[in-house]
Amino acid sequence: MKPRVAVIDIGSNSIKALVAESDGSRFGLIPLYEETFEVRISQGIAGNPPMLKGDRIEAGTEAVSTLWKECCTYGPLSGLKIVATSAVRSASNGDVFMDAVETATHCKPSILSGIEEADAIAMGVRTDPAVGGGLEEFTVFDLGGGSLELIRFKEGRVVARTSLPLGSVRLTERFFGNPSLPIPSDEVIALSGHIHDLIEAADIQLGPPVVGCSGGLAALRHVMAERKKVPFETCHPVFKRPMINELAGKVLSQDLASRIDVSRIPAGRADIFPAALITFQMILELAGADELLHSLHNLRYGLAWLLLNPIPEDESPAHQE
């Protein structure tokens, strides 16, 4: 049997698992098991100080434990990695959650730095057949609940990357007085300006084409699949800027129930979807791009590839020059 590895990614909105093995090509992976639990451990992370709520710690630990047990059924595994990202990284009580996960799984989880997260995302995108073999100069972003990672590729290598506190949960809690109601124009303007200023200050050169990995983009793809009456998997993964602008105008004027019932936004994302759409708009504007390409190969794919291909960091295909 080929070597198999498992990754559990504790994100701010969702907790995801992947069991994979190599397909024998340079970047190729064969996913054997994938599962996602919408837990939103980041709820309340915009507080001062930022803290994980007790019920979110409990729900997150239960989700990780369930996924860990399922991953183990695909053994023997040559590697298993449990990682946490922005919400746990910034929470003053993140260690409480990590200790609970270790107790439940008997595996020591790790908290990725923003740069480590960006590097793994860059590697993950390289495993996507739609990206890895066809693009040499492009921008990648991953929008989570707590942070936004931006990565710039040139000649097939990472030349710049950053992690910014621009996650959709964080922004929704900070800028929207009541995300269940239509979003007032002054709040939209304030949020747009904040996103613009932080990306500009990061001094990372964005440019087309733009590839995105995020639950928000998955929700957008779900909306388009509903519109076209096609399965999610076969829905075209390219989203044009005019369509995103049209949808944003519609969604920002809707209350929560209408976003779900009329616009067909998944219920678990409907409250934070306006912030995600505004972020997509800002990224496209700053990159001078006309469209987004959605990739499902993000952080967990990159970590799985690295578990299967343990090479020195400075020799990684995704390493910054």
Residue boundaries of the structural domains of the chain: 5-115, 128-294
Phi, psi of 33 (to 5 degrees): -155, 130
Residue-level pLDDT at 196: 97
pLDDT tens for each residue of 100-125: 999 999 999 999 998 899 899 988 99
Confidence label for 317 from pLDDT (cuts 50, 70 and 90) = very low
CATH (residue range 128-294): 3.30.420.150
d(CA 304, CA 202): 28
CATH (residue range 5-115): 3.30.420.40
Judge whether residue 320 has pLDDT over 50.
no
Q: Which two three-digit tokens encode residue 253?
A: 């004027």
Q: Do domains 5-115 and 128-294 have the same CATH topology?
A: yes
pTM summary value = 0.86
Residue-level pLDDT at 103: 96
What's the average model confidence in pLDDT over 172-182? 96
Tally of residues, the chain = 321
38-60: buried (b, 16+ CB within 10 Å) or exposed (e) per residue?
ebbbbbbbbeeebbbbeebbebb
Confidence label for 316 from pLDDT (cuts 50, 70 and 90) = low
Distance between first and last Cα of the chain: 36
What's the average model confidence in pLDDT over 251-263? 96
Q: How many Cα atoms occupy the beta-carbon half-sphere of 72 within 13 Å?
A: 10
Name the region of 8 (left: φ>0; alpha: ψ -120 to 50; beta: rest).
beta
What's the average model confidence in pLDDT over 33-62? 89
Confidence label for 156 from pLDDT (cuts 50, 70 and 90) = confident
Judge whether residue 204 has pLDDT over 60.
yes
Residue 209, preceding bond cis, omega within 30 degrees?
Answer: yes
pLDDT tens for each residue of 212-221: 998 899 999 9
